[in-house]
Amino acid sequence: MTILIDVGNTAIKWQLRESEQTIDTGRGDVSQLMVWLESLGSLPSQQVAVSCVRDDEFAGELHDALVQLGCSSAVFAKSSATYAGITNAYANPSSLGVDRWLAVLALKSRGYESGIVIDVGTACTIDVLEDNHHVGGFILPGPKLACDALVSNTDKIRYSTEPPAALEPGTDTGACVVSGAWLTIVGAVKEIALRYPHCPVFLAGGAAPTLLHLGVDGELVTDLVFDGLYFWLNGA
């Protein structure tokens, strides 16, 4: 059995896998994660791998909590210069967000040597893999973050209800803000896809279905970070 933990900016997700088959999965905060882990039993005998994008202090506290539960062999994934034939574009490879690196590795684990990964959550991250070379990426505010930034940094951009995602011109302030946020992301995604026409597009993250609804051509994928984390732990 393998326990996989994905610590994002706003939530923690976890999976239990036997070989590559998902046996159980969940989402919540640290306390909920600990309750789930305790329910498994026999923790010392299980592999535990963690992807964590929060700061080192949080990662250290999580590591200590895992050890106290008996997960003494827990390992935290790190971005590296190369892995399984994939090269990292960053001059300082370890500074690439580990979730982004694992998503790229997940493409390799699924049999792709090229692809564009778009992950839309708190931030919108876009990474390009071309012939096993991570050529770099882009980071944009996610739609909610972009809208919140406008409201918090201006005096008169205000709206009380959240308009639906759209790309058409808005006819009130809220609609203008939301359309502007989504148009920025959709425009960026389509421009990058045009630059790399031979790279299939993969859409991940909580807002990925909205991108499909707004006309982005790509494949909706789930568990990319988990797949990459499992590959990192057990791969080449």
Closest-CA residue to 224 (of 108, 84, 129, 142): 108
How is residue 219 annotated by DSSP? E
Q: What are phi and psi of 133, to 5 degrees?
A: -110, 120
**Where does residue 140 fall: left (phi above 0), alpha (psi -120 to 50 degrees), or beta otherwise?**
beta
Size of the chain, expressed as the number of residues it contains: 236
Neighbours of 93 (CB within 10 A): 17
**Where does residue 127 fall: left (phi above 0), alpha (psi -120 to 50 degrees), or beta otherwise?**
beta
CA-CA distance, 169 to 177, in Å (whole number)?
Answer: 10
Q: What are phi and psi of 141, to 5 degrees?
A: -65, 140
217 carries an active-site annotation: no
Of 99, 119, 223, 227, catalytic: 99
Distances (CA, A) of 86 to 38, 102, 131, 225, 231: 36, 11, 9, 16, 13
- Active site residues per annotation: 99
